[in-house]
Amino acid sequence: MANSIQKLSLYTEKYKEIIDLLALPIDANKLPIVGECKIFKSSAERYGHVIIKLDLETDENLVKGASAGHYTYEWMPEKTFAGRDNVIVPLDKAFEADILNELSFFTTLLGMFDKSTQYLRFSVIGGSYRITERPYFAAATAQALIQIMRKLNDS
Within a domain: 17? no
Strand stretches in the chain, DSSP E: 33-41, 46-56, 71-75, 80-81, 87-88, 120-130
Rounded-to-integer distance, Cα 52 and Cα 37, Å: 9
The CA distance from 138 to 101, in Å, is: 8
Given this model, what pLDDT does residue 141 score? 92
Assess whether the previous peptide bond of 25 is cis (omega < 30° from 0).
Answer: no
pLDDT at 69: 61
In a domain, 14, yes or no: no
The pLDDT value recorded for residue 147 is: 94
- Containing 19, the helix (H) or strand (E) segment is helix 19-22
Q: What per-residue confidence (pLDDT) applies to 144?
A: 94
Domain assignment present for residue 2? The answer is no
Q: How many domains does the chain have?
A: 1
Q: What local confidence, expressed as pLDDT, does residue 65 receive?
A: 67
pLDDT along the chain (155 residues), means of 10: 66 79 87 90 76 89 68 76 52 85 89 81 85 73 92 82
Instruction: Of 98, 104, 83, give the one whose Cα is nearest residue 134.
Output: 98
Whichever domain contains 76, its CATH number is 3.30.230.10
